[in-house]
Amino acid sequence: EEIIKVQQLDKVKFTDSEINTLGFNENEINSNLLPTGEGISADLIIFPKFVEMPQKSQLVLAIGRPEIFDQATKRPIGAILSINKNIPTIPNTQSYLESVFLHQITHILGFMHELFDKFEIGIDNVIKTDLETRTRKTKKFIISPKVVEYGKKYFNCSNLTGVELEDLGGYDDYNHSHWEARILLGEYMNSEVHTPEQAISGFTLAL
């Protein structure tokens, strides 16, 4: 009988300065995460925080941002999920918030313009600036191999070289950190979560 050994994940532990970056004090952090602690076996630790959010033209329910990165792999290992204290009464509130949180966690995992240069394949293989065919305006496109491969099949277009990103940012002002809704309407990584039934598509999974 073949024995498969599972390698244990390195334990996550934060320095004092990293804890300060998160905006918590030692009493609010699991003691295992402190410099004197044992660490916690995890890929990523997300800290929810309820905050007062300045309102824009539309209501912001949550914002997710990675704050601490593994020095070797550059992947996020500590993040804040800021949640608006003043969540309104909206239809299907729980399902809607689940969609919003999933969207923000995906930003934390790497779907964010500021993080593309941390991808192992190199930023020049992740994103490019080019002219959009219809408007002839300068736009940004994801060109990572798996996204392009999936896009070619989805759109039945062998000439596709990239998938367009939104350049307006949406509610959370993440420019070039969402799919262009004109291309992928209803995808959960559009800049606006319209309904709880947003689709988790192969485009985001490929990225």
Give me the pLDDT at residue 168, please.
Answer: 74
Instruction: Give the other-Cβ count within 10 Å of 170's Cβ.
Output: 18
> What is the chain's length?
207
CA 39 vs CA 34, 52, 71, 154, 204: distances in Å = 7, 31, 16, 43, 31
According to DSSP, residue 10 is labeled: P
Q: What distance in Å separates the CA atoms of residue 191 and residue 188, rounded to the nearest whole number?
A: 8
- Which among 26-30, 54-58, 90-94, 157-161 has the top mean pLDDT? 157-161
- The answer to whether residues 34 and 28 touch, using CB atoms and an 8 Å cutoff, is no
Tokens encoding 38: 């044992």
- Which among 123-132, 145-154, 185-194 has the top mean pLDDT? 145-154
Give me the pLDDT at residue 24, please.
Answer: 85
Query: pLDDT tens across 6-28, in order?
Result: 444 578 999 999 998 898 888 88
Listing DSSP states for 127-181 in one string gives EEEEE-TTT--EEEEE--HHHHHHHHHHHT-TT---EEB-SS-GGGT-TT-SB-T
Q: Could you tell me the pLDDT band of residue 134, with boundaries at 50, 70 and 90?
A: confident
Give me the pLDDT at residue 55, please.
Answer: 66
Within 13 Å, how many C-alpha atoms sit on residue 62's CB side?
Answer: 24
Threshold 0.95, pTM exceeds = no
CA 48 vs CA 27, 28, 157: distances in Å = 15, 12, 42
Q: What distance in Å separates the CA atoms of residue 87 and residue 97, rounded to the nearest whole number?
A: 9
